[in-house]
């Protein structure tokens, strides 16, 4: 948490300094990690930004700020100097690092955890794949991002709930039911063709085979219900094997089909509410949402002229239901192909009387799976797709989740199967997990050493030791970065950086030696590294092995 604390103090110093210069504006400066060849912990660009406003030399401003920092941050800052065009480079005192090391060792799995940051409920809704077939790797990326983000928010003290929204009504369900029925009838000996636009994967055959084996006649079978049951069981099993478990599974049928005592569904009532607020209108025997009022490019149909509701109408009712269940913040994780849907859902939320900022929609790019240098096409209609289960079975859950989280959600992701299976430092998840295993091995070996004195952290003063403690202290800052950007990918970068530093430390610093004082201090350092690695990997849904 050192960077956060220093940034907070610098914000106060810079704000007061700007006021003293009669500048009536906020200076948004950065506190960055300088290049490795620079003997500093942080680089601050505030002086250059202020100098530009005042039209003076950045060095003169930097000198003034440095005097204030030296005076007000003497308990934290060891060295403060000007670099380059006007950066202020800061080096923190080792005592600050040792305090952070103590905090890690004291709090262990609770390090960085905030108890009850907010009593308000937050819903993270993700995956929500139609129950028309197994999950493919695109769904897997959404599952890894959504689950890890929820873990991070929980660690930060949010009352977080994970929900899967089942689109189990509409035409797609009719097509699914018909697909299973045709396969059933074929298995019973009927000469009947299979439409090319129906679901053709082997899983449809498997559902039909089960129904035949149970001996039920055609008229006794609800093909939609039976198909959804089997597919949903497959989805749940695949997610569980992927370390993803939902708090709620919410059926679209609950809002679209179940009627109250007045014969109204939640979709009926949501649309009526929009009409009452002049946010929906009738035209050409259809009901239209006035979404252009809220920056959508055109108004959208809620109810077609044949009396059937659109998917949008169900989504309006679903978001209304979420807020009415007491969720103050909604986070929706969607594939990038839903980008055109964002404006209309944002419009819906505002039309329902809720604040736009209480809904956050995250779009993630799909995955290009590389096999022999070629991406594999996926289609649930043709049955030619790579399932999440296949990839997990091939490379393992840990590698699969880590690779899915290597990039920000809005970045393209190429998944290299061969790299994910490598047992070498080229594979980032192996590289990180090897640190956890090496730490465990050292701690196990240390049990043979007796009469170790109390650890004196002042002995941890080499560059490698110092860098390692400093990087561990960025755990809390990484948590906050994930919260701010709604992306867990910062933790994969954080872990790779820790692994880099650890391996340099391991090469230069012998942990178990004849010097019992130094051994004791370094063992505590190793224990802290194992805590941070385990905590970080757990937030990503990845295991921390004790041996490899």
pLDDT at 380 over 60: no
* pLDDT (mean) for 389-415: 96
Does one domain contain both 189 and 45? no
Q: Residue 22: helix, strand or coil by DSSP?
A: coil
* Segment holding 370, helix H or strand E: strand 367-371
pLDDT value for 342: 94
Residue whose tokens read 């370390």: 243
Tokens of 99: 């305090």
C-alpha dist (Å) from residue 248 to 121, 124, 327, 345: 14, 10, 13, 21
* Segment holding 158, helix H or strand E: strand 158-166
C-alpha dist (Å) from residue 66 to 40, 76, 82: 14, 13, 8
% of the chain beyond a pLDDT of 90: 87
pLDDT at 175 over 80: yes
Contact 1, 100 (CB under 8 A): yes
Domain span holding position 165: 126-258+365-421
C-alpha dist (Å) from residue 526 to 100, 247, 332, 338, 470: 14, 36, 39, 45, 14
Q: Which long-range contacts (CB under 8 A, 24 or more apart) does 75-82 make?
A: 76/5, 76/6, 76/9, 79/40, 81/40, 82/47
% of the chain beyond a pLDDT of 70: 98
Q: Quick: pLDDT tens for 300-319.
A: 999 999 999 999 999 999 99
pLDDT value for 384: 59
Tokens of 299: 């108004």
Q: Which of 50, 110, 62 is nearest to 87 (CA)?
A: 62
* pLDDT (mean) for 64-75: 95
pLDDT value for 218: 92
Phi and psi at residue 134, to the nearest 5°: -65, 160
Q: How far is Cα of residue 31 from the mean position of the Cα atoms in its chain?
A: 24
Among residues 40, 75, 92, which one ends one of the domains? Answer: 92
Tokens of 23: 């500048």
Question: What share of residues in the chain are helix, strand, coil (percent, to 5)?
Answer: 55, 15, 30
pLDDT at 63 over 60: yes
Indicate the number of domains in the chain.
3
The whole-chain average pLDDT of the chain stands at: 94
Does one domain contain both 436 and 403? no
pLDDT value for 116: 67
Does one domain contain both 179 and 204? yes
- Exposed, middle or buried: residue 493 (CB in 10 Å: 0-12, 13-18, 19+)? middle
* pLDDT (mean) for 266-283: 96
Cα–Cα–Cα angle for 177, 180, 183, rounded to 5 degrees: 150
Q: Is residue 524 part of a domain?
A: yes
Does one domain contain both 382 and 443? no
Q: Residue 78: helix, strand or coil by DSSP?
A: strand
Does one domain contain both 43 and 174? no
Cα(86)–Cα(97) distance, rounded to whole angstroms? 26
* Segment holding 48, helix H or strand E: helix 46-54
Does one domain contain both 393 and 441? no
Does one domain contain both 370 and 434? no
Q: Is residue 197 part of a domain?
A: yes
Q: Is residue 316 part of a domain?
A: no
Does one domain contain both 392 and 249? yes
Cα R_g (the chain), whole angstroms:
28
CATH number at residue 87: 3.30.1360.70
Q: Residue 436: helix, strand or coil by DSSP?
A: helix
Tokens of 3: 């960077």
pLDDT at 211 over 60: yes
pLDDT at 246 over 50: yes
pLDDT at 500 over 60: yes
Does one domain contain both 383 and 444? no
Does one domain contain both 248 and 148? yes
């Amino acid at each position: 948490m050192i960077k956060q604390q220093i940034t907070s103090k610098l914000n106060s110093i810079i704000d007061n300094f700007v006021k003293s210069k009669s500048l009536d504006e906020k200076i948004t400066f950065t506190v960055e990690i300088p290049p490795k060849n620079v003997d500093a912990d942080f680089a601050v660009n505030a002086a250059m930004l202020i100098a530009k406003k005042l039209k003076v030399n950045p060095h003169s401003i930097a000198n003034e700020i440095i005097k204030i920092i030296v005076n007000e941050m003497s308990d934290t800052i060891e060295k403060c100097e000007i670099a380059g065009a006007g950066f202020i480079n800061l080096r923190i005192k080792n005592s600050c690092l040792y305090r952070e090391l103590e905090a890690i060792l004291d709090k262990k799995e609770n390090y960085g955890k905030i108890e009850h940051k907010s009593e308000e409920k937050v819903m993270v809704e993700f995956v929500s794949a139609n129950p028309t077939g197994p999950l493919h790797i695109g769904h897997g990326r959404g599952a890894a991002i959504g689950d890890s983000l929820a873990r991070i928010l929980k660690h930060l003290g949010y009352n977080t709930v994970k929900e899967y929204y089942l689109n189990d009504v509409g035409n797609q369900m009719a097509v699914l039911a018909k697909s299973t029925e045709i396969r059933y009838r074929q298995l019973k000996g009927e000469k009947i063709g299979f439409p090319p636009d129906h679901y053709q994967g082997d899983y449809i055959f498997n559902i039909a085979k089960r129904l035949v084996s149970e001996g039920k006649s055609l008229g006794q079978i609800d093909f939609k219900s039976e198909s959804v049951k089997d597919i949903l069981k497959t989805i749940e099993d695949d997610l569980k094997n992927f370390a993803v478990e939902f708090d709620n599974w919410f059926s679209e049928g609950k809002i679209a089909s179940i009627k109250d005592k007045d014969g109204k569904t939640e979709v009926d009532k949501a649309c009526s509410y929009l009409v009452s607020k002049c946010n929906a209108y009738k035209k050409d025997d259809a009901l239209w949402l006035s979404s252009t009022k809220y920056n959508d490019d055109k108004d959208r149909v809620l109810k077609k002229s044949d009396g059937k509701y659109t998917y949008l109408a169900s989504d309006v009712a679903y978001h209304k239901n979420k807020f009415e269940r007491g969720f103050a913040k909604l986070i929706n994780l969607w594939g990038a192909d839903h980008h055109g849907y964002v404006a209309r859902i944002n419009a819906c939320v505002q039309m329902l009387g809720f604040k736009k900022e209480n809904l956050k929609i995250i779009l993630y790019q799909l995955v290009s799976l590389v096999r022999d240098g070629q991406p594999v096409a996926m289609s649930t209609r043709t049955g030619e797709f790579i399932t999440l289960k296949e990839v997990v079975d091939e490379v393992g859950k840990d590698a699969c989740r880590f690779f899915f989280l290597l990039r920000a959600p809005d970045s393209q992701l190429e998944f290299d199967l061969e790299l994910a299976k490598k047992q070498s430092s080229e594979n980032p998840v192996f590289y990180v997990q090897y640190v956890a295993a090496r730490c465990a091995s050292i701690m196990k070996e240390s049990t043979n050493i007796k009469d170790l004195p109390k650890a004196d952290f002042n002995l941890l003063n080499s560059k490698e030791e110092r860098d390692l403690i400093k990087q561990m202290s960025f755990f809390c800052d990484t948590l906050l970065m994930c919260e701010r950007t709604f992306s867990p990918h910062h933790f994969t970068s954080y872990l790779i950086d820790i692994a880099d530093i650890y391996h340099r430390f391991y090469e230069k610093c012998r942990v178990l030696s004849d010097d019992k004082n130094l051994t004791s201090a370094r063992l505590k350092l190793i224990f802290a590294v194992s805590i941070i690695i385990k905590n970080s990997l757990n937030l990503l849904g990845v295991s921390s092995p004790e041996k490899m």
